[in-house]
């Protein structure tokens, strides 16, 4: 399941264009949920709550009487709401393309199909009077639905519409199954014909578990009020059944003492009063404290996200480089995005994945990337803004440093027989070590006499022995 969760996403992002599109494809969760709802409806109408072959409502409310037996009206109302509500839940996933790959579908995952399989085992086992096996299936069903509701409880902040659509039918289902699990457990001991003392202890533990479950559900936030409300209704139905004359007569035939039945009736009434008080208190706390606090936090987050940008136009910038803006726009338009990205965890790809590091750390912010795919050629990132004259001077200096080199008193870039420029004035300050010992030329300062016959070669044969630094200084 973990592998599927990484594939099914509500939104998809194109590799090349970065365009974010809604994913409307069918996935395995939607298909299995639709099949499971149809199978659950068949079970409910054959061996379930409204079964024509056998009915779990008749089994839990009339066939086997115990201290925790509930009035049949509870199951009729609960399953009457549950069946169409879950049918709408499944139809919504199939009929609405925008909800097929939402987080609600992904979080439901395989829980609901597994729950329907366990419900089939529970109802079919009870129809064949295999109550121990049916009790095992019912506990598995209850645990699966609890996991489903807890998973949906972690769904992003819900409004009434989202709760009624995604979590409401599942919360009602788990609450009804909790009650049926309690009743099936007591039916097993009634079927085994245990003594009234053992059945009283089991009934007391069952009532305590229902009370603790309601308290645990109310203590969480965000709170799911539907589950404790259904448990309160179940305890109310239990108290109503204890006031029935027919139920009292059945318990007398099972050797329950009259004083015990009276004490049990008042105990159920006390538990019912405590559960109602806790439910009302939780509703008041949520309305007066939790909801205003959430509104303030949400408003604070929205205010923190607001940013103000002020731009002052002072005219044309002489150092502005148009290529810088073109390269930057090209880089952001061709930045690769992840194959799948979801809207549940944010969509700021630049902040999530950052920008690549530059190659030249000595020149921060500008580097040569030879492996890039910039259609303009050269650098993937913009060059530093500068004037065209400065760029030309830098390039000229680099070329001179590569080409100009003193060798044997001659310039490598010149060929013999060509005229060379006159020696620079700074060449007179050169030390003798920079010249060859056998050079025919001598400095006028060191020569005592200047011979008129010293120049025996034409001026075209003279070469310049100046360095690149001398040329730069003249420039």
Angular region, 383: left φ>0, alpha ψ -120 to 50, beta rest: beta
Residue-wise pLDDT tens digits, 167-181: 999 999 999 999 999
Query: What pLDDT shows up at residue 412?
Result: 47
Phi/psi of residue 171, nearest 5 degrees = -65, -40
399 pLDDT band, cuts 50/70/90, is: very low
The per-residue pLDDT for 165 is 86
pLDDT tens-digit readout, 29-47: 999 999 999 999 999 999 9
Q: Above 70 in pLDDT, residue 57?
A: yes
- The terminus-to-terminus CA distance of the chain in angstroms comes to 74
Q: Residue 229 has what pLDDT?
A: 96
Residue of higher predicted confidence among 200 and 22: 200
**Tokens of residue 193, six digits:** 């014909």
pLDDT > 90: percent of the chain: 42
Which range has highest mean pLDDT (138-152, 334-348, 379-393)? 138-152
Phi, psi of 103 (to 5 degrees): -65, -30
57-67 b/e (C-beta count within 10 Å ≥ 16 → b):
bebbbebbbbb
Given a cut of 60, whether residue 468 has pLDDT beyond it is no
Nearest residue to 12 via CA among 23, 1, 2, 28: 23
Mean pLDDT value across the chain? 74
Angle between helices 72-95 and 226-242 (to 10 degrees): 160
Helix axes 168-191, 111-127, angle to 10 degrees: 30
Q: Tokens standing for 154?
A: 């972690």
When mean pLDDT is compared across 127-131, 166-170, 387-391, 471-475, the lowest value belongs to: 471-475
For range 268-279, the mean pLDDT: 96
- pLDDT score at 267: 95
pLDDT tops 60 at residue 473 = no
Residue 333: band (very low, low, confident or very high) from pLDDT cuts 50, 70, 90: low
Which has more confidence, 26 or 368? 26
What was the pLDDT predicted at 34? 93
Reported as a single tens digit per residue, the pLDDT across 145-204 is 999 998 888 665 567 788 888 899 999 999 999 999 999 999 999 999 999 999 999 999
- Going by C-beta distance under 8 Å and a sequence separation of 6 or more, which residues neighbour residue 433? none
Which of 82 and 103 is assigned the larger pLDDT?
A: 82
Give me the pLDDT at residue 13, please: 76
Question: How far is Cα 401 from Cα 384, in angstroms, rounded to an integer?
Answer: 22
What was the pLDDT predicted at 260? 92
Q: What is the pLDDT of residue 435?
A: 47
Whether pLDDT at 475 is above 50? no
Which of 221-225, 439-443, 469-473: highest mean pLDDT?
221-225
pLDDT for residue 261: 92
Residue 372 is predicted with a pLDDT of: 43
At residue 365, does pLDDT exceed 60? no
pLDDT at 323 over 90: no
Average pLDDT score over residue span 319-328: 57
pLDDT level of residue 386 (50, 70, 90 thresholds): very low
Q: Which positions ≥6 away from 282 have C-beta within 8 Å? A: 218, 223, 225, 228
Strands 20-22 and 410-411: unpaired
Q: What is the 3-state secondary structure (H, E, C) of the chain?
A: CHHHHHHCCCEEECCCCCCEEECCCCCHHHHHHHHHHHHHHHHHHHCCCCCCCCCHHHHHHHHCCCCCCCCHHHHHHHHHHHHHHHHHHHHHHHHCHHHCCCHHHHHHCCHHHHHHHHHHHHHHHHHCCCHHHHHHHHHHHHHHHHHHHHHHHCCCCCCHHHHHHHHHHHHHHHHHHHHHHHHHHHHHHHHCCCCHHHHHHHHHHHHHHHHHHHHHHHCCCCCCCHHHHHHHHHHHHHHHHHCCHHHHHHHHHCCCCHHHHHHHHHHHHHHHHHHHHHHHHHHHHHHHHHHHHHHHHHHHHHHHHCCCCCCCCCCCCCCCCHHHHHHHHHHHHCCCCCCECCCCCCCCHHHHHCCCCCCCCCCCCCCCCCCCCCCCCCCCCCCCCCCHHHHHHHHHHHHHHHHCCEECCEECCCCCCCCCCCCCHHHHHCCHHHCCCCCCCCCCCCCCCCCCCCCCCCHHHCCCCCCHHHHHHHC
For the chain, give the percent of residues with pLDDT over 70: 61
97 to 10, 70, 74, 166, 342: CA distances (angstroms): 10, 42, 36, 15, 16
Is pLDDT of 95 > 80? yes
**Per-residue model confidence (pLDDT) at position 177:** 96
Rounded to an integer, the average pLDDT of 221-225 is 84
The structure's pTM equals 0.63
Between 355 and 49, whose confidence is greater?
49
* Segment 402-415, tens digit of pLDDT: 444 444 444 444 44
Question: How many other C-beta atoms lie within 10 A of the C-beta of residue 310?
Answer: 4
Q: Which of the four pLDDT bands, split at 50, 70 and 90, describes residue 427?
A: very low
Q: What is the pLDDT of residues 285-309, one digit of tens each?
A: 988 988 888 888 878 877 776 555 5
pLDDT category at 464 given cuts 50, 70, 90 is: very low
Q: Where are the domains of the chain?
A: 10-294
């Amino acid at each position: 399941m973990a592998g599927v969760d990484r594939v099914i996403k509500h939104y998809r992002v194109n590799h090349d264009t970065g365009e974010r599109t809604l994913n409307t494809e069918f996935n395995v969760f939607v298909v299995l949920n639709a099949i499971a709802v149809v199978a659950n409806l068949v079970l409910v109408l054959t061996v379930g709550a409204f079964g024509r072959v056998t009915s779990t409502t008749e089994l839990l409310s009339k066939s086997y009487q115990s201290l925790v037996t509930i009035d049949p009206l509870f199951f009729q109302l609960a399953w009457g709401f549950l069946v169409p509500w879950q049918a709408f839940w499944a139809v919504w996933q199939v009929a609405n393309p925008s909800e097929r790959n939402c987080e609600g579908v992904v979080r439901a995952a395989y829980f609901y199909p597994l729950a329907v399989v366990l419900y089939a085992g529970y109802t079919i086992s009870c129809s064949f009077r295999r109550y121990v096996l049916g009790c095992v299936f019912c506990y598995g069903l209850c645990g699966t639905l609890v996991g489903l509701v807890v998973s949906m409880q972690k769904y992003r902040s819900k409004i009434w519409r989202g709760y009624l659509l995604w979590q409401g039918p599942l919360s009602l289902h788990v609450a009804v199954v909790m009650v049926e699990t309690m009743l099936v457990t007591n039916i097993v001991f009634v079927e085994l014909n245990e003594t009234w003392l053992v059945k009283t202890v089991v009934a007391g533990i069952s009532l305590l578990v229902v009370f603790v479950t309601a308290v645990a559900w109310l203590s969480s936030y965000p709170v799911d009020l539907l589950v404790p409300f259904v448990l309160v209704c179940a305890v109310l139905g239990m108290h109503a059944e204890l006031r029935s004359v027919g139920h009292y007569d059945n318990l007398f035939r099972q050797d329950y003492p009259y004083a015990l039945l009276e004490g049990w009736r008042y105990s159920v009434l006390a538990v019912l009063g405590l559960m109602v008080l806790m439910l009302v208190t939780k509703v008041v706390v949520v309305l007066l404290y939790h909801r205003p606090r959430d509104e303030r936090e949400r408003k604070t987050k929205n205010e923190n996200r607001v940013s103000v940008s002020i731009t002052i136009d002072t005219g044309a910038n002489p150092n502005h480089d148009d290529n810088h803006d073109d390269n930057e726009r090209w880089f952001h338009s061709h930045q690769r995005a992840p194959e799948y990205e979801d809207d549940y965890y944010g969509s700021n790809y630049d902040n999530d994945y950052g920008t690549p590091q530059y190659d030249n750390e000595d020149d921060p912010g500008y580097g040569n990337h030879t492996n890039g795919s910039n259609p303009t050629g050269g650098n993937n990132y913009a060059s530093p803004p500068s004037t065209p004259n400065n760029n030309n001077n830098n390039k000229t200096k680099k070329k001179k440093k590569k080409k100009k080199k003193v060798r044997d008193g001659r310039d490598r870039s010149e060929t013999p027989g060509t005229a060379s420029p006159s020696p620079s004035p700074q060449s007179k300050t050169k030390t003798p070590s920079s010249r060859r010992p056998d050079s025919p030329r001598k400095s006028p300062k060191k020569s005592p006499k200047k011979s008129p016959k010293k120049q025996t070669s034409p001026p075209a044969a003279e070469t310049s022995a100046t360095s690149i630094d001398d040329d730069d200084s003249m420039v």
